[in-house]
């Protein structure tokens, strides 16, 4: 039996926005027929690594083409120049792709990418799953619930589920505004567990497609523990720049720790004098995002995302 991966039709839409003329394309893959369709994207932020695209690949490779009851469209490399630079935003115009929807066909590189995703990407699709995730500098472990998208979000084996802010200028926010059902997944990142997290994202995709009727119900997918709801999320950032030294490891992502626990600290970069400590702020603190490695950080850099279990 052929898999969806073998049957997928790929097309490259030229971006034409750089001086390396005609070299960069936005690649969209498509398979299936029928009314119902889902767009799955990965790499909207270029420093969030290859794990989302890898999870899409794992999904497509593991899916029997005859089990598909609708249309699957994928954009695994949604922001090629940002991926190449391993930066959140492409160096060519420094715009955040997830803040410029619906984009502009005649705009700069990032605005053109947004325009293609908003038109050729979203066209005739009722569902959108946007894979973000940890990256070269952090690991994270949660899924965003957006209005009308609870069941889609709860299909993912994420440790935590969090209400998302509605942002019309993001891919999922714009898709919501068009009336689509959406979720954004924040799982994975560089660590010794990267393959494990990619498998979990792939399992979540499979369960999500089953839930919305794009995969036949008889195609078994492993059961999961439902994500734990959390609220009052907060970002912990250093007050001044220096060297960051972690006190919790990548294995702690997705866990709940006791209040006051030391998470990491900032050191003066020459003397290594302690500048400040990061501690778990809530009596029970859910770890949604952390940095597992030493790094130089500027003041205000995102260092932890924490929340309170409901
Ligand atoms: Zn992101």
- Mean pLDDT score, 108-135: 96
Ligand 1 center to 81 CA (angstroms): 15
Q: What would the two tokens of residue 197 be?
A: 């997290």
Give the model's pLDDT for residue 166: 79
Ligand 1 center to 287 CA (angstroms): 17
Q: Does domain 228-309 have CATH number 3.40.5?
A: no
- Mean pLDDT score, 76-100: 96
Ligand 1 center to 44 CA (angstroms): 6
> Cα dihedral sign for 94, 188, 120, 155?
negative
Share of the chain above pLDDT 90, in %: 89
Res. 103 pLDDT band, cuts 50 70 90:
very high
Is the per-residue pLDDT at 21 higher than 80? no
Res. 165 pLDDT band, cuts 50 70 90:
confident
Res. 212 pLDDT band, cuts 50 70 90:
very high
**SS3 of 162, please?**
strand
Cβ atoms of 214 and 36 closer than 8 Å: yes
Give the model's pLDDT for residue 182: 98
Tokens 């709860």 belong to which residue?
Answer: 154
Q: What would the two tokens of residue 270 be?
A: 């020459």
Ligand 1 center to 32 CA (angstroms): 28
Ligand 1 center to 274 CA (angstroms): 31
- Phi/psi-derived region of residue 210, left when phi > 0, alpha when psi is between -120 and 50, beta in every other case: alpha
Tokens 């120049």 belong to which residue?
Answer: 81
Is the per-residue pLDDT at 217 higher than 80? no
Is the per-residue pLDDT at 251 higher than 70? yes
Res. 22 pLDDT band, cuts 50 70 90:
low
Give me the residue spans of the domains in the chain.
4-211, 228-309
Instruction: Give the predicted TM-score (pTM) of the model.
Output: 0.95
The CB density around residue 271, as the number of other CB atoms within 10 Å, is: 8
Is the per-residue pLDDT at 40 higher than 70? yes
Is the per-residue pLDDT at 167 higher than 70? yes
Is the per-residue pLDDT at 235 higher than 90? yes
Among 3.30.1370.140, 3.40.50.300, 1.10.1670.40, 3.40.630.10, what is the CATH number of 4-211? 3.40.630.10
CA separation for the pair 218, 237 (Å, rounded) = 47
Query: Which residues neighbour ligand 1 (ion) by CB within 5 Å?
Result: 45, 48, 132
Give the model's pLDDT for residue 222: 78
CA separation for the pair 174, 170 (Å, rounded) = 6
Give the model's pLDDT for residue 221: 74
What's the mean per-residue pLDDT of the chain?
95
CA separation for the pair 75, 31 (Å, rounded) = 12
Ligand 1 center to 165 CA (angstroms): 14
Question: Residue 51: which of 154, 163, 170, 133 has the closest Cα?
Answer: 133
Q: What would the two tokens of residue 85 be?
A: 């630079």
Give the model's pLDDT for residue 135: 87
Give the model's pLDDT for residue 236: 98
């Amino acid at each position: 039996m052929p898999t969806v991966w073998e049957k997928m039709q790929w097309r490259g839409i030229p971006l034409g926005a750089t001086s390396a003329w005609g070299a960069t394309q936005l690649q969209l893959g498509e398979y299936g027929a029928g009314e119902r369709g889902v767009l799955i994207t990965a790499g909207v932020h270029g420093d969030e690594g290859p794990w989302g695209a890898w999870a899409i690949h794992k999904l497509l490779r593991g899916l029997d083409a005859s089990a598909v009851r609708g249309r699957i469209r994928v954009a695994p490399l949604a922001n090629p120049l940002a991926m190449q630079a391993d930066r959140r935003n492409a160096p060519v115009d420094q715009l955040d792709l997830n803040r410029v929807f619906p984009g502009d066909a005649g705009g700069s590189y990032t605005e053109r990418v947004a325009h293609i995703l908003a038109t050729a990407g979203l066209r005739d699709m009722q569902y959108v799953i946007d894979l973000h995730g940890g990256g070269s500098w952090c690991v994270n472990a949660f899924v965003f619930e957006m209005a009308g998208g609870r069941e889609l979000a709860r299909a993912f084996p994420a440790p935590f589920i969090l209400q998302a802010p509605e942002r019309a200028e993001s891919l999922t926010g714009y898709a919501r505004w068009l009336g689509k059902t959406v979720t954004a997944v924040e799982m994975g990142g560089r660590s010794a567990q990267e393959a494990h997290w990619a498998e979990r994202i792939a399992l979540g995709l499979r369960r999500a497609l089953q839930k919305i009727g794009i995969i036949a119900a008889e195609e078994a997918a492993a059961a999961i523990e439902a994500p734990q709801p959390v609220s009052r999320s907060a970002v912990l950032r250093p007050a001044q720049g220096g060297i960051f030294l972690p006190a919790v490891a990548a294995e702690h992502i997705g866990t709940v720790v006791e209040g006051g626990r030391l998470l990491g600290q900032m050191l003066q970069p020459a003397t290594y004098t302690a500048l400040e400590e990061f501690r778990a702020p809530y009596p029970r603190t859910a770890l949604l995002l952390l940095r597992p490695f030493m790094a130089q950080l500027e003041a205000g850099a995102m260092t932890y995302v924490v929340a309170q279990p409901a």
